C-alpha cells in the first residue's frame, strides 16, 4: 500500500481544513487507516483511526468533537475533516495503514502501522 496525504495549509484559529489520504493497492479496503501528527520538537502522536468498513472510529481526546474521519473505499481515500482548529493543532499530519480490518488493541500506537504517507503540513495561526 502506498499512501499520500494532502490538503494541508495555513488557516486561522477557528477555521477548517479537510485532509485526504489517497492510497494505491487492493488491500486498502481491508485496512485500518490512522492519522497521526507531529509538532516541532514533539513525538508523532495518534489523532484518529477508522476501520476498514468505516463503521468503527476512534479519536484522541484532544480532537474529539472537532475532527471527523471518514473513508470512501471506492475512491481508495480516507478523509480527515478538521473544524474549530486551534494553534495547538499545528503539525505535520501523516496517514498510515494497518493491515487489519478492525480497530483493536493498541490501534493508537505508531508501531501498529506498516505503511506511512509523506505527511502534509497544517498551520493554525492565532
Please write the tens of the pLDDT for every residue from 30-49: 999 999 999 999 999 999 99
107-121 pLDDT, tens per residue? Answer: 999 999 999 999 999
Q: Residue 19: which of 83, 74, 84, 62 has the closest Cα?
A: 83
pLDDT at residue 26 in the model: 77
Residue 25: what pLDDT?
A: 81
Tell which residue, 33, 35, 54, 55, has the closest CA to residue 45: 35
Residue 89 sits at φ, ψ, to 5 deg, of -85, -5
Across 78-107, average pLDDT = 96
Percent of the chain exceeding pLDDT 90 equals: 94
Kindly report the average pLDDT of the chain as a whole number: 96
| Amino acid 47: pLDDT | 98
| Residues paired with residue 49 on neighbouring β-strands, in sequence order | 34, 58
> Band of the pLDDT at 9, cuts 50, 70, 90?
very high
The Cα–Cα gap between 94 and 46 comes to: 10
Exposed e or buried b for every residue in 102-120, given b needs 16+ CB within 10 A? ebeeebbeeebbebbbebb
Residues 37, 42, 44: CA angle, nearest 5 degrees: 35
Amino acid at each position: 500500500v502506498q499512501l499520500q496525504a494532502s490538503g494541508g495549509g495555513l488557516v486561522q484559529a477557528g477555521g477548517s481544513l479537510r485532509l485526504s489520504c489517497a492510497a494505491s493497492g487492493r488491500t486498502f479496503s481491508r485496512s485500518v487507516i490512522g492519522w497521526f501528527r507531529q509538532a516541532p520538537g514533539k513525538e508523532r502522536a495518534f489523532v484518529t483511526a477508522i476501520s476498514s468498513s468505516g463503521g468503527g472510529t476512534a479519536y484522541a481526546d484532544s480532537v474529539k468533537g472537532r475532527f471527523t474521519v471518514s473513508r470512501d473505499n471506492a475512491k481508495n481515500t480516507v478523509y480527515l475533516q478538521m473544524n474549530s482548529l486551534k494553534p495547538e493543532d499545528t503539525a505535520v499530519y501523516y496517514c498510515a495503514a494497518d493491515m487489519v480490518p478492525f480497530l483493536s488493541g493498541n490501534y493508537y500506537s505508531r508501531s501498529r502501522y506498516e505503511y506511512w504517507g509523506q505527511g502534509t503540513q497544517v498551520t493554525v495561526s492565532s
